[in-house]
Chains A and B, each alone.
Chain A
């Protein structure tokens, strides 16, 4: 297992370096002068020159990159040109709602996907299975923002059961906090539940036809033990793969969901920074999201080793 961890960590280093180069290049991909893009045309030349010096844009490109990398290694991701605060502070202020939303959405999706996926596979071609696969298709094809607006229309505008925007921290006001996150979590969780349901159903169907399942039944094991010990355990590997692959979609979905429900999270911060043309903030947040995404994928890779002992070798 230690070898697997070291191998995966070593493979991550060149990717991380390329990611930093890509994020650094973002600012330089701007057509024309990035300073003109960031500041109003009317801004005076002195202010523009000062920002150019602050961002180091008056120096040669390799020097800029090395200086930027040096600052990154010291934990300095730059400052927002909008509020002057360090990127890390901007993110740390917004991370809490995003993590709460992701956790709730993930929990909700697994609570839906596991029973639906398992029962669909066990009762293949029944009306429950057809309802389950239709739900999966609906969740995969429905864009987040449209589902969000449907939920707002139904539960916020028509029935008036839940708030349609705003955020209350569940750690401070549990009931109001959960109410404020209910619709965003359903929006984000349903799409993930759809993908996991589809994968779990198909991988369980595959496992159900394997010889070891027949052998387990022939040995006289109860159906529950066959399912838990043989079918589900083997069907989990593709599910973990899909969960890892869906992390990116989850983060993207969180951007849209936070935007629609006006949640003050990291996703909303990215959108605001993009529209304010606050490039240092865009760079910093995108880099943090990418590093978080790489770290999550690393954890998923290591989970394989726990689920499937053959991969530890």
Chain B
């Protein structure tokens, strides 16, 4: 019995993966994501130069054999910094969305399952967070939490939490009214058990879809904050801060801006394709 259940879960996962792969642009998105993950994990091995090593004699060198994407104003290799910057972008994208999905999911479950005043309070709180333009809220939080990756992760986590809370609450309200939840209650299951065993697993799919769509936007938001100087601090490499540092040399050395810019754009496009594929595979309405 247990082995047949395991087999059916594996079958279902395989079907979802097959559906996701059938989406037209998904292979491109998956390839981009794979390259980005490999670059982030193996940065010390694949980066041709030390991303922090300055060489003023080689400053503003054009792209060539020695430096494929050229060098910046203090002679650092742009390609190596782009590769190391992948780490920051992916960490920011995935961790901030994970924080938001966890916090928002939890708040949504509590609001939807408990209902009444708790629901009202949680949802008004979420409405209040949504009343701030996302980047302005992230800026204000970044300002009080201080510059650095931790502040950015928390700020973006807070910004994206209401989306997940609203989504989860709606799902929980729908699932709560199903017959199998009534049956579990009639069998004497506790509220906690019903929430964990029956409501949460059945309400989680839209959260996964939303999370996959949000990562690309979180990466863009991190790059925006880093561009403004609130993200990871120099000399560490992040795409946003590299672009900001390069804008003073746009005329002499446009590669300082367009190297990390291209990496950011391609990653965001790829992640959007992956997000669309996940949505198409998991959401029957999107499929139809």
Contact = CB atoms under 8 A, between A and B. Distances in A.
B133 A146 contact: no
Interface in A129-149: 137, 140-146, 149
Nearest to B223: A143
Given A249-B134, A293-B132, A286 B140 contact: yes
B135 A142 contact: no
B261 A22 contact: no
Contacts of B261: 146, 149-150
Contact of B128 (A22, A270, A286): A22
Interface residues of A, number: 47
B9 interface: no
B243 A289 contact: no
A290 B257 contact: no
B70 interface: no
A19 B143 contact: no
Interface stretch (B39-47, B71-79, B198-206, B226-234): B226-234
B132 to A, nearest CB: 5
Contact of A252 (B129, B133, B229, B269): B133
Contacts of B124: 14-15, 18
B145 A141 contact: no
A255 B136 contact: yes
B257 A289 contact: no
B36 interface: no
A51 to B, nearest CB: 17
B236 interface: no
Contact of B129 (A14, A22, A146, A297): A22
A237 interface: no
A137 B133 CA distance: 22
Contact of B134 (A248, A256, A271): A248
Nearest to A247: B133
A179 interface: no
B131 A31 contact: no
B227 A256 contact: yes
B142 interface: yes
Contacts of A18: 124-125, 127-128
Contacts of A137: 269, 272
B265 A256 contact: no
Contact of A19 (B131, B146, B251, B265): B131
Interface stretch (A76-84, A218-226, A274-282): A274-282
Interface of B: 124-125, 127-129, 131-137, 139-146, 216, 220, 223-224, 227-230, 240, 243-244, 247, 250-251, 254, 257, 261, 264-265, 268-269, 272
Interface of A: 14-15, 18-19, 21-22, 26-27, 29-31, 137, 140-146, 149-150, 152-153, 157, 247-249, 251-253, 255-256, 259-260, 270-271, 274-275, 277, 279, 282, 286, 289-290, 293-294, 297
Given A19-B132, A157-B251, A255-B136, 11 more contacts: A15-B128, A18-B127, A26-B141, A141-B272, A142-B265, A145-B240, A146-B257, A146-B265, A247-B133, A259-B228, A279-B144
